[in-house]
Amino acid sequence: MSFLKKYMISIALIVVILVLCFMNMAPLPAAPVANFDKFVHLLMFLALSGSVFFDNTAYLKKQIDVYRLFLASFLFPTLFSGAIELGQEYFTTTRSGDWWDFLFDGIGAFIGILVCLLINRRLPVAK
Where do the structural domains in the chain lie, given as residue ranges?
2-122
What is the torsion angle, in degrees rounded to the nearest 10, for the CA atoms of residue 54, residue 60, residue 61 and residue 63?
90
Whole-prediction pTM value? 0.84
Q: What is the pLDDT along the chain (127 residues), one digit of tens a residue?
A: 777 888 899 999 999 999 999 988 777 677 778 788 899 999 999 999 999 988 877 655 666 677 777 788 899 999 999 999 999 999 988 888 899 999 999 999 999 988 887 877 776 655 5
The whole-number pLDDT of residue 33 equals 81
**AA identity, residue 88:** Q
